[in-house]
């Protein structure tokens, strides 16, 4: 399940959710925008970038979401962070780093080289399963916590959040967005369910398969299936991949993955793969 894309959508819909997680609200919080950028020479991918308003330098927030352990996360994240901050220094007054984990067990084991940074006021580590009960949190945070919810509780919690949103959220557009996000989380989590089954789980009377978010989720499901095949083929063809190389491949879209599936048949070493990736 591509859980980081769920967070991408949540943060796109409401960038202020990050500040709710951190418990700090910048003066211009409502004017922040969320983005994902590529930093070249060397090429890095920053998954979540929260940019301050353009009218004056402000704090930029770099975020990473981890549902699986990455033993080089902090090496990669700090490289991306400082490289981007250096290249855009006039735009920002300061920076913050935010690593969001589904649970503490997903954090990389060797954090010693980063002890000063991780324990500073500039870096935050958030563990979703320690936020509290998803059903009791503000709805936005509840959606995030739902992603880390145990399977046995997920459906009941989703129904509870849906009922709360219908009572608490007066804007029809915002209420619809919450409903679609809830259904999308269930589509990702319970892979293989039909639209009718997901609708029944939540007690919905809409045609889920007609919603934009559901169509995007299904399309991404195809992408993830192809990505899994590519990883298996590469493992047999060129050997074990580094976390950095896997990260590069995880950013490829379906057409690129299909092209890679054919191209890797000619690969003999990991160097061949790296050459192909650098050309993308």
pLDDT (tens digit per residue) in 154-170: 989 998 998 898 888 88
Q: Based on the structure, what is the number of domains in the chain?
A: 2
Determine, yes or no, domain membership for 255.
yes
CATH number assigned to the domain comprising residue 85: 3.40.1350
For the ranges 2-11, 105-114, 136-145, 176-185, the lowest mean pLDDT is seen at: 2-11
pLDDT at 33 over 50: yes
Question: Are 112 and 233 in a shared domain?
Answer: no
Q: What confidence category does residue 3 fall into, taking pLDDT thresholds of 50, 70 and 90? A: low
Q: What is the pLDDT of residues 88-133, one digit of tens each?
A: 999 999 999 999 999 999 999 999 999 999 999 999 999 999 999 9
Question: Are 126 and 1 in a shared domain?
Answer: yes
Beta strand 44-51 with 58-66 is: antiparallel
Q: What is the pLDDT of residue 208?
A: 47
Determine, yes or no, domain membership for 168.
no
pTM of the predicted model over 0.75: no
- Distances in Å between the alpha carbon of 194 and those of 56, 186, 188, 211, 214? 48, 11, 12, 14, 11
Question: Are 231 and 126 in a shared domain?
Answer: no
Q: At which of 108, 130, 152 does a domain end?
A: 130
Structural domain of residue 25, as residue ranges? 1-130
Determine, yes or no, domain membership for 174.
no
Question: Are 1 and 126 in a shared domain?
Answer: yes
Tokens, residue 19: 């500040």
Q: What is the pLDDT of residues 41-95, one digit of tens each?
A: 445 566 688 999 988 899 999 999 888 889 999 998 999 899 999 999 999 999 9
Determine, yes or no, domain membership for 82.
yes
Question: Are 121 and 234 in a shared domain?
Answer: no
pLDDT at 206 over 60: no
The residues, any chain, with a CB within 8 Å of residue 14's CB and separated by 6 or more, are 140
Determine, yes or no, domain membership for 160.
no
Question: Are 123 and 239 in a shared domain?
Answer: no
Confirm if 44 and 80 have CB atoms less than 8 A apart.
yes
Determine, yes or no, domain membership for 101.
yes
Determine, yes or no, domain membership for 189.
no
Determine, yes or no, domain membership for 164.
no
């Amino acid at each position: 399940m591509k859980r980081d894309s769920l967070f991408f959508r949540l943060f796109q819909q409401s960038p202020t959710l990050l500040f709710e997680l951190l418990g700090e609200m910048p003066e211009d919080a409502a004017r922040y925008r969320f983005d994902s950028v590529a930093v070249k020479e060397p090429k890095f991918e920053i998954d979540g970038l929260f940019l301050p308003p353009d009218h004056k330098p402000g704090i930029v927030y770099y975020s990473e979401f981890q549902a699986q352990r990455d033993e080089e996360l902090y090496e990669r994240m700090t490289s991306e962070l400082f490289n981007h901050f250096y290249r855009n220094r006039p735009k920002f007054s300061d920076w913050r780093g935010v690593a969001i984990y589904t649970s503490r067990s997903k954090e990389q084991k060797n954090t010693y080289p980063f002890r000063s940074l991780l324990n500073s006021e500039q870096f935050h580590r958030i563990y979703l399963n320690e936020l509290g009960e998803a059903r009791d949190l503000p709805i936005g945070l509840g959606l995030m916590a739902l992603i880390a919810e145990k399977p046995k509780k997920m459906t009941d919690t989703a129904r509870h959040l849906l009922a709360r949103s219908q009572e608490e959220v007066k804007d029809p557009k915002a209420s619809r967005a919450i409903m679609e996000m809830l259904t999308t989380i269930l589509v990702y989590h319970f892979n293989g369910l039909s639209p009718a089954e997901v609708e029944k789980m939540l007690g919905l009377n809409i045609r889920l398969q007609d919603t934009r978010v559901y169509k995007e989720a299904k399309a991404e499901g195809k992408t993830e299936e192809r990505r899994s095949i590519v990883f298996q083929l590469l493992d047999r063809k060129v050997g074990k991949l580094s976390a950095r190389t896997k990260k590069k491949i995880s950013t490829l879209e379906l057409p690129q993955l299909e092209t890679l599936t054919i191209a890797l048949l000619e690969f003999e070493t990991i160097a061949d793969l790296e050459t192909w990736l650098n050309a993308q």
